[in-house]
Homo-oligomer: A and B are copies of this chain.
Amino acid sequence: MKNQFIHTYVSVDCVVFGFDDEQLNILLVRKNEVNAKDLKLPGSLIYNEEDVDDAANRVLFELTGIKKMSLRQFRCFASPDRASKPEDVKWLDKEYQPNINRLITVAYLSLCKIDRKLNNVSKYKQTKWCPLNEMPKMPFDHNKIVKKSLIEIRRWIEYDPSIVFELLPNKFTISQLHRLYEAIYDKQIDIRNFHKKVAAMPYVVQLDEKQKNVSHRAARYYKFDKKARNKFKANI
């Protein structure tokens, strides 16, 4: 047995984005009491007969109860010292087993409606939607992963603009969609140009329904039409 080659555990970590009508949030979890204050990205070691994509799907299913969430692998993080801080080693000891000297992780992006009822009870002591600008200090290199994920989510949306609707309720107003775009790109977007842009999306369809009991002109609701999206995609 040559010893110079790494022989290691591999994990997945998921950066799950949500949108609270004001800003992007990321779903963090706390699993046990070792470091009571430490929230982290949801993740897991991967099993023997499991692909990394399947492991990410499993983690997300345990969190949300959704079988096949949209997800996108974006990077393997493998710095030799990413799991070497004493508190992180301690956490690994307790959560998995002692003597995990090194841990490689594969990071995933995913999107989730923020009002989705989560499987709080089963696996996690706590789950928390955390606004992007209030990220706590997290264990391992999770802060670095979140930072990189912001670049990737923009690239993902550029590649497939229709995924943003996974961040919105089934019916939404143009205004909500507008705020979402502003949050993602972190800049102001002219509302008139934005209306035109949305009008050019055949997969955003107007509903008959309007807002009720709002102290201003009621906004129309829209929905995302998946079939129209697929037809539209096929034409490009």
- Interface readout for A37-78 with B: 1 if CB under 8 Å, 0 if not? 000000001111111110000000000000000000101101
Asked if A89 is at the interface of the complex by the 8 Å CB criterion, the answer is no
A9 x B10 contact (CB < 8 A): no
Asked if A217 is at the interface of the complex by the 8 Å CB criterion, the answer is no
CA distance in complex: A102, B51 (Å): 11
A49 x B97 contact (CB < 8 A): no
Asked if A236 is at the interface of the complex by the 8 Å CB criterion, the answer is no
B51 x A97 contact (CB < 8 A): no
Asked if A106 is at the interface of the complex by the 8 Å CB criterion, the answer is yes
CA distance in complex: A48, B101 (Å): 10
CA distance in complex: A45, B53 (Å): 21
Which single residue of chain B is at the shortest CB-CB distance from A55?
Answer: B78
Asked if A6 is at the interface of the complex by the 8 Å CB criterion, the answer is yes
B6 x A10 contact (CB < 8 A): yes
CA distance in complex: A7, B9 (Å): 5
Asked if A188 is at the interface of the complex by the 8 Å CB criterion, the answer is no
- State whether A104 and B5 are in contact (beta carbons under 8 Å apart), knowing that A73-B76, A76-B73 are contacts in the complex: no
Asked if A4 is at the interface of the complex by the 8 Å CB criterion, the answer is yes
- State whether A6 and B47 are in contact (beta carbons under 8 Å apart), knowing that A1-B97, A97-B1 are contacts in the complex: yes
Which single residue of chain B is at the shortest CB-CB distance from A2?
Answer: B97
CB proximity to B under 8 Å, residues A82-117: 96-97, 102, 104, 106
Choose one: B4, B49, B106; the contact of A47 (CB below 8 Å). Answer: B4
* Cβ distance A236 to chain B, nearest Cβ, rounded Å: 15
* Cβ distance A228 to chain B, nearest Cβ, rounded Å: 25
Instruction: Name A's B-contacting residues (CB within 8 A).
Output: 1-10, 45-53, 73, 75-76, 78-80, 96-97, 102, 104, 106, 155, 159
